[in-house]
Structure 1
Amino acid sequence: MTGKYRFLLRPGWVALALLTVALVVTMVLLGHWQLDVSDSKHFSLQNFGYALQWWAFSIFTLAFFARLVRDRVRTTRSGTGAGDPTPAEPTQRVEPPVTYRRYVPPAPVRADDPELAAYNDYLAGLAQPATQDEGRT
């Protein structure tokens, strides 16, 4: 085993690898069982979908473990491992954080606005019952 993957021999990583293998084997067997149930029901599409779903979960589990290992190798290679108290100097220029604008509420409406007064009068007229229509019924 090369030096960059030596961390996989630590107890925590061995336990994680064993858990990953156990989960993948369990999910593959559950998918096979769902496929058998689908065949016993003369190809039940629902159970066939469940079988595919279990196998997709197992692929996701393997991909997640591979991603964890890859990220660990990258951080170890760059010198910022978990045991390293001082992070390495950044090689790229760090951009300043993006400043966001603060919400500014709209200005209050002026009471002497003639257009607003006309609109309010129109709405008040709509709210009043029509006196001519009431007498006809």
Structure 2
Amino acid sequence: MLRRFRFALRPGWLALHVLCLALIVTMILLGRWQLHVSESKHFSIQNFGYALQWWAFSLFVLLMWGRVMRDTAHRNDRVTGRAPAEPPPPSDEPVAYRRYVMPTAPQAPLDAEQAAYNDYLARLAAKDEEA
């Protein structure tokens, strides 16, 4: 398990860990500050909402950090040829890929009203070309 995440000890990854940790701590503290402002205003719902928003941002950073780590470990497993931790579920039915083919059937014949309108448009276009 720990071998999969050995890449996370490289300097670039360590900088990412420090950045994520700094963001999470900062946003938690900003949320606490907004909560304090809310309490000083006798429970301002706006500031309370901002506090919740800061905490939601910190959760988002934590989740994205975990997802980036997991995806990179999975990508490294595929490159090195190691079996992934969880094999994908077996597929009962192969996926059918088909190339799109443009229909070649002739169009339906025009009715009299539509043919007259097309002739009118053609005469207008011809008149515009003359001018």
TM-score when normalising by structure 1: 0.61
Partner of 2:28, secondary structure, is helix
Residues 1:64 and 1:110: Cα distance change in structure 2 (over 3 Å): same
Residue number in structure 2 paired with 1:71: 71
Partner of 2:50, secondary structure, is helix
More helix by share: 2
Pairwise CA RMSD of aligned residues? 3.3
Name the count of aligned residue pairs: 104
Deviation string 1:15-45 (CA, Å, 9 cap, x unpaired) is: 1111101110111111011101100110001
Residues 1:40 and 1:102: Cα distance change in structure 2 (over 3 Å): farther
Residues 1:48 and 1:108: Cα distance change in structure 2 (over 3 Å): farther
Structure 2, unmatched stretches of 5+, are 82-87, 117-131
Partner of 1:42, secondary structure, is coil
Equivalent positions of 1:1-137 (< 5 A) are 2-78=2-78, 80=79, 95=95, 97=97, 99=99, 109-111=110-112
% of aligned pairs identical? 50
Cα drift, residue 98 of structure 1: 5.3
Residues 1:47 and 1:99: Cα distance change in structure 2 (over 3 Å): farther
Residues 1:111 and 1:42: Cα distance change in structure 2 (over 3 Å): same
- The structure, 1 or 2, with the larger RCO (C-alpha pairs under 8 Å, 6+ apart) is 2
4+ residue runs of structure 1 moved beyond 6 angstroms?
Answer: 91-94
| Structure 2 CA distance for aligned equivalents of residues 77 and 27 of structure 1 | 33
Q: Which has the larger radius of gyration?
A: 1
